[in-house]
Chain A
Amino acid sequence: MAVRNAVIVGGNRIPFVKAGGKYAQASNVDMLTATIDGLVARFGLAGEKLDEVVAGAVLKHSRDFNLTREAVLGSALDPHTPACDLAQACATGLEAVTYLANKIRLGQADVGIAGGVDSASDAPIVVSEPLRRALLKANRARTLPDRLKAFASVRPADLAPVPPGVVEPRTGLSMGESQALTTAKWGISREAQDELSARSHQRLAAAWDAGFFDDLVTPYLGVTRDGILRPDTSVAALGKLRSVFGGADATMTAGNSTALSDGAAVVLIADEDEARRRNWPVLARVVDTQVAATDYVTGNEDLLLAGARAIPELLERNGLTLADFDAVEVHEAFASTVLATLAALEQDGHGTVDVDKLNVHGSSLAAGHPFAATGGRIVASLAKVLSEKGPGSRGLISVCAAGGQAVATILEAV
């Protein structure tokens, strides 16, 4: 069977903001719906049936079991548009793009939307395990005494709610603590981290000023620009922040780590012929994707460096080297994640990435990182960058994820 080309036509996101801020009252469904509607308005898709919408969220309420379908039903799209929820922690957005692009390439869909949303403000709160078991037992009980008996084993401490943690279940370490181990192991300096962070802010601010996001972002709840962005920050200012992860001689601060954020991002993907028939912009082709995982539980490998495994496999399969890319996007979970990933690639003989090609319009440190929304943000922005550079220009994306995973994707302007 002939494989078709899946192309990025455009994208839309809402400005990202710090958790507990302007979107504190917005749910994942609200944000995803608004983001889809912004894309629908830009391309005149109101009332149209698309072949599929795929998205996901990392922090998800059990009531949102059909999150994406609910967002579609709340949007201006034809209600006959089917939807699918998908999840792979922070790589959710990029995996959603992969899922849809693959369906399009195989002829199972012509036009669809892929993306993700996350609200760290509206995160689900869970009850303690003993209380949860007692509630379920009481629910099964048939008599009042039995029902009361079910709560006999519950202790006062069990009544406290359990907030969601960004903690790896198998190591008990938070993302920041895990990354602090990596930072120390790879000897990533505070200065290098702060420099990368300052550059991210400066570049994102410049892109906003240049109108780069005019056709990539729709304001939401009165927010017109990314809320975390600090256009005037500098290495000196970042250097004054005290460290938060990694003990005595730690180098990681709130300034070179991503903040918990709220936001959503989606991408419009179509079969290339279909896109051309509709006179849509054909920004970039989705070339190939590789997912990889590390053995981080034993401590032999790093939690967030699976990109250094995914990228070489992807490059080899496509007969490319790092030097063949015009733009490289490495998700800034932490500044040191990017630096350690590049260091690992260099150590393995893959060369390095020129700073002028790396995260050219800033990345998650400046924009924020609503987990599942990051993939859509990066894909839409990179596709536009490549399209501006002209046909044949190539871009590489790497997004790390919890569980020691990462997804790498190649886009190419056509």
Chain B
Amino acid sequence: MSILEKIYTSPIGRTLAPKVGLNEPPKLRRGRTMPTGAVLLAELDGGGLARQVLEALGVETAEPLLDLPEHRTPDDRGRPQPPRYPTKAGAVVVDATGLREIAQLEGIRQVLRPLMRGLESSGRVIILASDASAVTGLEAKAVAQAIDGINRTVGKELRAGATANLVFVREGTTADDLTSTLLFLLQGRSAFVSGQTWRVGPAKAGDRPGGDYRSDRPFEGRVVVVTGAARGIGAAIARTFARDGAKVVALDVPAAGDALSKVANELRGTALQLDITSPEAGVRIAAHVAQVHGADAKIWAIVHNAGILRDRLLANLDEKSWAQVLEVNLAAEMRMNEALLDTTLPGGLGEQARIIGIASTSGVAGNKGQTNYAASKAGVMGLVWAEADELADRAVTVNAVAPGFIETDMTASIPFVQREVFRRTNSLQQGGQPVDVAETIAWLSDPASGGVNGQVVRVCGQNLVGA
């Protein structure tokens, strides 16, 4: 710990920090917990889908207050103020799926204005809107994108750990396609996801959760492979899947076997010591799954979490550091997927399955000293989009998360001041926890998330970088 960090974390430092604008960041609601306050449903013109989703989830809803001129009351200086909630609301779901005209955007303003100071800590703004591809006409398409701008700004203006996210709904999407996503957004699991926009469409044929599906333990009896699982984010991913019922195969390089076996034993899973850059890595994973879980066992989800850094300014970057990063972070993933997608391979991916990649905000926006890493992580995004297209006829989804600043042993080694800057330059004014990345991956992997495909979802607290 540096001297600066010691002063900062001392009682005196804690007293002084807010005076220079460094407030104690809000403590985020996490896990499978719902908001404490009311869940409001704002059904705008032509909406209706959100109501079906919330009913399917058994979530009771209340009506929001609207900022109409006649609802305003003057403050002590006579200025008109929007209506106030008697008790803070927990979340608002804005159903904007029917909006096609610029004038209708006013409906969103009316709902959100009273809530900007009326949401509880870790409250939620969730907007559903029709995807531009699902509407006709110039104005309707422009309106869709306008809603994206509202969402991103609301995320930045909200306080106390509250988040805003937008789900664009594609043509033909039903309530069943949206339940897992809305539950994720309402619950504490989405704590560090804010200001994000992604698309949900109709799940492919054969991609529905089975009769034994339980939304609180979605992976019961399913085999999930997590690479790089010995520590940090990978270990958190493994723990989250195990919590939700999965039989976890924890994979890492042989040299990390010590920590890996502890994770595997803690989760009653299995450890597989394997270098993922080995040409037969995919086949070895399948063989392990078949050996441990039986010849008929299939992988439900594989999370390609393993990754390395070899940071150098491009001016100092040689071919070795270049190749290693691309090999581990991108090429290995592509090879393993190809091998595991072979339906005849015992212990491979099932007919219905989930593939998850890990991109990075560095891949989205670039980052000084990380040409190799940014290439590999942007490459992961490209791979996810291409594979999702290629697997159009199979009940397999391919998605990625792009973590921002996450508190791990790796980021703890960044010098204090730099680290504090990274931490605070996002809408939630803090670093994320490994579990935040894990929860997002678990949602994307949910058997009920068949409608989420080809998406890259940032887990960055709405980081300013690349936003």
Chain A, residue nearest B255 (CB):
A224
Which of B250, B262, B294 contacts A279 (CB under 8 A)?
B294
Contact of A41 with B by CB under 8 A: yes
A344-368: CB near B (< 8 Å → 1, else 0) gives 0000000000000000000000000
B291 and A41 contacting across the interface, CB-CB below 8 Å: no
- Distance in Å from the Cβ of A79 to the closest Cβ of chain B? 14
List of 6 A-B pairs having minimum Cβ-Cβ separation, nearest first: A41-B261, A76-B265, A41-B271, A44-B270, A41-B264, A218-B257
Q: Which residues of B contact A370 (CB under 8 A)?
A: none
The answer to whether the Cβ of A280 comes within 8 Å of any Cβ in the partner chain is yes
Residue A99 interfacial (CB < 8 Å): no
Closest to A75 in B: B265
Q: How far is the CA of A183 from the CA of B268 in the complex (A)?
A: 51
Bound Cα distance from A37 to B265, whole angstroms:
7
Determine if A408 is an interface residue (Cβ-Cβ < 8 Å): no
Residues from chain A with a CB closer than 8 A to the CB of B258 are 34, 38, 218-222
User: Do the beta carbons of A211 and B269 come within 8 Å of each other?
Assistant: no
**CB distance B265 to A211 under 8 Å?**
no
Cβ contacts under 8 Å, B73 to chain A = none
Is B290 in contact with chain A by the CB < 8 A criterion? yes
Q: Could you tell me the distance between the alpha carbons of A280 and B275 in the complex, rounded to whole angstroms?
A: 22
A34: min CB distance to chain B, Å:
7
For the complex formed, measure the closest distance between the CB of B112 and the CB atoms of chain A, giving whole angstroms: 49
Q: How far is the CB of A159 from chain B (nearest CB, A)?
A: 41
Contact A218–B265 (Cβ < 8 Å): no
Q: Which of A208-244 contact B (CB under 8 A)?
A: 211, 213-215, 217-222, 224
Q: How far, in whole Å, are A43 and B275 apart by their CA atoms in the complex? A: 18
Specify which chain B residues have a CB less than 8 angstroms from the CB of A47 in the assembled complex.
268
Task: Decide yes or no: A279 and B295 within 8 Å by CB, A211-B275, A214-B274, A219-B254 being known contacts.
Answer: yes
What are 14 residue pairs bridging A and B, where the CB atoms are less than 8 Å apart in the complex? Answer: A40-B265, A41-B262, A41-B265, A42-B271, A46-B264, A211-B275, A213-B254, A214-B254, A217-B254, A218-B260, A218-B261, A279-B290, A279-B291, A279-B292
Interface residue? A187 (CB, 8 A): no
- Assess whether B256 is interfacial by the CB under 8 Å rule: yes
Q: Are A40 and B261 in contact (CB under 8 A)?
A: yes
Task: Contact check, B290 vs A214: say whether CB atoms are below 8 A apart.
Answer: no
B229 to chain A, nearest CB (A): 11
Set of chain A residues within 8 Å of B266, measured between Cβ atoms: 46, 76
Which residues on B sit within 8 Å (CB–CB) of A224? 254-255, 257
How far in angstroms is the closest Cβ of chain B from A137? 47
Which residue numbers of A lie inside 8 Å of B, CB to CB? 34, 37-38, 40-44, 46-47, 76, 211, 213-215, 217-222, 224, 279-281
Q: Which residues of A contact B292 (CB under 8 A)?
A: 43-44, 279
What chain B residues lie within 8 Å of A222 (beta carbons)?
Answer: 258
Q: Which residues of B contact A44 (CB under 8 A)?
A: 264, 268-270, 292
* Docked CA distance A44–B289 (Å): 11
Most chain B CB within a 10 A radius of its CB, from A47, A224, A279:
A279
Least CB separation from B259: chain A residue: A219
Whether the Cβ atoms of B273 and A218 lie closer than 8 Å is yes
Complex CA–CA separation, A75 to B318 (angstroms): 45
- Inter-chain pairs besides A46-B268, A214-B254, A218-B257, 16 sampled, C-beta below 8 Å: A38-B257, A38-B271, A41-B250, A41-B260, A41-B270, A42-B270, A42-B272, A43-B270, A44-B269, A76-B265, A213-B254, A217-B254, A217-B257, A218-B260, A218-B273, A219-B255
B82 to chain A, nearest CB (A): 56
Report the separation of the CA atoms of residues A378 and B58 in the bound assembly, to the nearest whole angstrom.
60
B411 within 8 A of A: no
On chain A, the residues within 8 Å of B294 by CB distance are 279
Count contacts on B: residues with CB < 8 A to the other chain.
Answer: 27
- Also in contact, A37 and B270, with CB within 8 A (given A44-B292, A224-B254, A280-B291): no
**For the complex, what is the distance from the CA of A224 to the CA of B260, rounded to whole Å?**
13
- Asked if B15 is an interface residue, CB under 8 A from chain A, the answer is no
With both chains docked as a complex, state the minimum distance between the C-beta of A267 and any C-beta of chain B, in angstroms. Answer: 16
Interface residues of B in 287-321 (CB under 8 A from A): 290-292, 294-295
Residue interface mask B387-408, A partner, CB < 8 A = 1? 0000000000000000000000
CB of B278 within 8 A of chain A?
Answer: yes
A51 CB, min distance to chain B CBs, angstroms? 19
Given known pairs A219-B256, A224-B255, the reply for A211 and B278 (CB within 8 Å) is yes
Q: Complex formed: what's the CA distance from A145 to B309 in Å?
A: 72
Q: What residues of chain A lie closer than 8 Å to B250, measured between beta carbons?
A: 41
**Chain B residues closer than 8 Å to A46, beta-carbon distance:** 264-269
Q: CA of A38 to CA of B273 in the docked complex: distance in angstroms?
A: 10
A299 → B minimal CB distance (Å) = 47
Q: From known contacts A214-B273, A214-B274, A280-B291, infer whether A42 and B261 are also in contact, taking CB-CB under 8 Å.
A: yes
Query: Which B residues lie within 8 Å of A213 (CB)?
Result: 254
Distance in angstroms between the alpha carbons of A220 and B262 in the assembled complex: 11
Which residues in B have their C-beta under 8 angstroms from that of A218? 257-258, 260-261, 273
Min distance, Cβ A222 to any Cβ of chain B, angstroms: 8
| Nearest opposing residue in chain A for B287, CB measure | A281
B62 to chain A, nearest CB (A): 45
Closest to A38 in B: B261
In the assembled complex, the Cα of A43 lies from the Cα of B292 at a distance in Å of 7
User: Interface 1/0s, chain B 270-288, versus A by CB < 8 A?
Assistant: 1111110010000000000
Task: Please measure, in the bound complex, the distance between the C-alpha atom of A253 and the C-alpha atom of B269, giving whole angstroms.
Answer: 46
Complex interface: chain B residues within 8 A of A214 (CB): 254, 273-275
* Bound complex: CA A279 to CA B270 (Å): 14
Q: How far does the alpha carbon of A52 sit from the alpha carbon of B258 in the complex, in Å?
A: 24
CA distance A37 to B294 in the complex (A): 22
Provided the pairs A42-B271, A44-B270, A279-B290 are in contact, do residues A219 and B257 lie with their beta carbons within 8 angstroms? yes
Residues from chain B with a CB closer than 8 A to the CB of A221 are: 258
A279 to chain B, nearest CB (A): 5
Complex: A160 Cα to B424 Cα, angstroms: 63
Cα distance A213–B253 in the bound complex, in angstroms:
12
Bound: A218/B273 CA distance, A: 8
A46 to B263: give the CA distance in the assembly, Å. 11
When chains A and B are docked, how far (Å) is the Cα of A213 from the Cα of B255? 11
Find chain B residues with CB under 8 A from A42 CB: 261, 270-273
CB neighbours of B291 from chain A (8 A): 279-281
Residues of B contacting A215 in the complex (Cβ-Cβ under 8 angstroms) = 273
List chain B residues, Cβ under 8 A from A280: 291
User: For B295, what are the chain A residues with a Cβ–Cβ distance below 8 Å?
Assistant: 279
Contacting residues, chain A, for B273 (C-beta < 8 A): 42, 214-215, 218
Q: Measured between alpha carbons, how far is A43 from B294 in the docked complex, in Å? A: 12
In the assembled complex, the CB of A78 is this many whole angstroms from the nearest CB of chain B, namely: 11
- Bound-state CA distance A72–B109 (Å) is 64
CA distance A127 to B419 in the complex (A): 56
Identity of the chain B residue whose Cβ is nearest the Cβ of A10 in the assembled complex: B291
Measured CA separation A219–B294 after assembly (Å): 27
Please give the distance in Å from B278's CB to the nearest CB on chain A: 7
Q: How far is the CB of B276 from chain A (nearest CB, A)?
A: 12
Q: Determine the residue in chain A with the shortest Cβ distance to B294.
A: A279
- B167 CB to closest chain A CB (Å) equals 38
Most buried by B among A76, A214, A217, A224: A214
Q: How far is the CA of A211 from the CA of B257 in the complex (A)?
A: 13
A217 and B273 CA atoms in complex are apart in Å by 9
Per-residue A-contact encoding for B307-347, CB less than 8 Å = 1, 0 else: 00000000000000000000000000000000000000000
Cα A408 to Cα B255 with chains together (Å): 33
CA distance A219 to B253 in the complex (A): 10
Q: How far is the CB of A9 from chain B (nearest CB, A)?
A: 10
